[in-house]
A and B are shown apart, each in its own frame.
Chain A
Amino acid sequence: MSIGGILSRSIWVFHFSSAACNNCDIEIIDALTPRFDLERFGIKLVGSIKHADCMLVCGSMNRKGAERLKFLYDIAPKPIVVVAFGSCAASGGIFAPSYYFNGPVDSIVPVDAYIPGCPPRPEAIIDGIVKVVKKLRNV
């Protein structure tokens, strides 16, 4: 089995939430519950960026959040995949015209996959996982 094959079979996810309304966070936990059960693909949530293969970013980026996101991306062990989760992370969503908004995630760190929705449905999350797996297979 190739390196990418192994990487795509064991994706440990670090969840970074910057000024989110908490809806995306709840949907992420939902995807791990019995109905969708992402552990059957080897996916699990970890508490430290040092263990992670995938950084899931949700929420609208404010100035402090952007600083920390950049730092976490720099110290993460490579290869790491960044996923922009939800409308706020992808484009700013309804917070885009707000005074504290500091640009979408892809203006701060390189993003490999976008999961649309406010909040994304579990089907959209699973579609996002397919994108991540395809990305990792080609590492």
Chain B
Amino acid sequence: MIVFYYIIFPGFLTAFILGGIASWTERKLTAKIHARVGPPFLQPFYDIIKLFIKEVTIPDSASKTIFMLSPIIAFASVPIVATIVGINFLNPEYGFNGDLLVCVYLLLIPSIAIILGSSASGNPLASIGASREMKLVLSYELAFWAALTVPIIRTNTFRLSDLMEYQVLNGATAGSWSGIIAFIVAIICIQAKLARVPFDMPEAETEIAGGAYIEYSGALLGFFKMSQYMMLVVLPVFLLQIFWGPLNSPITILKYLLLLFIIVLIENTNPRLKIDQAVKFFWFGLFPLGIISIILAVLGM
């Protein structure tokens, strides 16, 4: 049964199909903002299938085992989060104490896999990408954890199902002062977690030519792309679950689309930051905001 949950529903296959549709929505919205027509509906799936048809090249300078293993690590970790997040909708009894923390740590693994893989590829631009990714992780994780502390303080629990139950009884966490500040901080943090503009300096196509992914081709790049698609669906739903419940009605889809729209809008109206600006922004801009929301939450507001 656990294999079914992991591979079919709500794990890999569901997250991948929904993620592909979300990725199409993102590209279509971007095209609409540019006054273009945009790609066809199945474009994300064509891209993935094409990448799996193409030849896989491994550079001579690469450390081969880690180079080939890290896309698969990134790819394998996201469906676990999808399973934990999704299973709490189906049957809250399957949740366990501390699954919130497990989710946040698992969501960090794709970034670590990118750092590992790009460092192993032996390309100078990839190592710049790896160093930027590392700095970005160090900067946004601080603010992200500060934001996540608020619902934990308000509900006194680490269980996702208890967080959802609390919101069914008392209304959304984001409905309070502390909750809304923490929610905004978390939304900006997932923008960095998804590596979207203005925080896309690890890949920076126009500047370091794909950065961390520069040496990846074919199926290995396909695994990274698939984990990105899945992240695009899993991360916003995870945030909705802890901040903007209750999620037991079809309005949830609208909430998700609103969150996706905010992500796309930020992506299309901002230039790319330099890495030092990003670190300053997260440490001295967002982290104090997170601290304020924690203080408000402790005061019960």
Contact = CB atoms under 8 A, between A and B. Distances in A.
Specify whether A and B are partners: yes
B39 A77 contact: no
B210 A46 contact: yes
Contact of A50 (B34, B36, B40, B57): B57
B263 interface: no
B36 A48 contact: no
> Chain A, interface size: which category?
20 to 34
A76 B59 CA distance: 11
Contacts of A10: 43, 46-47, 50
A3 B217 CA distance: 17
B102 interface: no
Contact of B221 (A3, A39, A51, A78): A51
Contacts of B218: 77
B210 A42 contact: no
Given A37-B31, A40-B37, A6 B216 contact: no
Interface in A70-91: 75-79
Interface of A: 3, 6-7, 9-10, 34, 37, 39-40, 42, 45-48, 50-51, 53, 75-79
A34 B35 contact: yes
Interface in B17-64: 27, 31, 34-40, 43, 46-47, 49-50, 53-57, 59
Among B54, B57, B59, the one with the most A-chain Cβ atoms within 10 Å of its Cβ is: B54
Contact of A40 (B40, B54, B205, B210): B40
Given A40-B39, A42-B43, A78-B55, A50 B216 contact: yes
Nearest to A32: B36
B36 A39 contact: yes
> Chain B, interface size: which category?
20 to 34
B50 A7 contact: yes
B46 A46 contact: no
A77 B53 contact: no
A50 to B, nearest CB: 4
A37 B37 contact: yes
B65 interface: no
Interface of B: 27, 31, 34-40, 43, 46-47, 49-50, 53-57, 59, 205-206, 208-210, 213-218, 221
Closest 4 CB pairs of A and B: A47-B209, A50-B217, A77-B55, A77-B217
B46 A42 contact: yes
A10 to B, nearest CB: 4
12 contacts: A6-B49, A9-B50, A10-B50, A37-B31, A40-B38, A42-B39, A47-B208, A48-B214, A51-B221, A53-B54, A77-B54, A77-B55
A75 B57 CA distance: 8
A38 to B, nearest CB: 10
Contacts of B49: 6
Given A7-B50, A46-B205, A51 B40 contact: no
A99 to B, nearest CB: 31
Contacts of B57: 50, 75-77
A48 B207 CA distance: 11
B50 A6 contact: yes
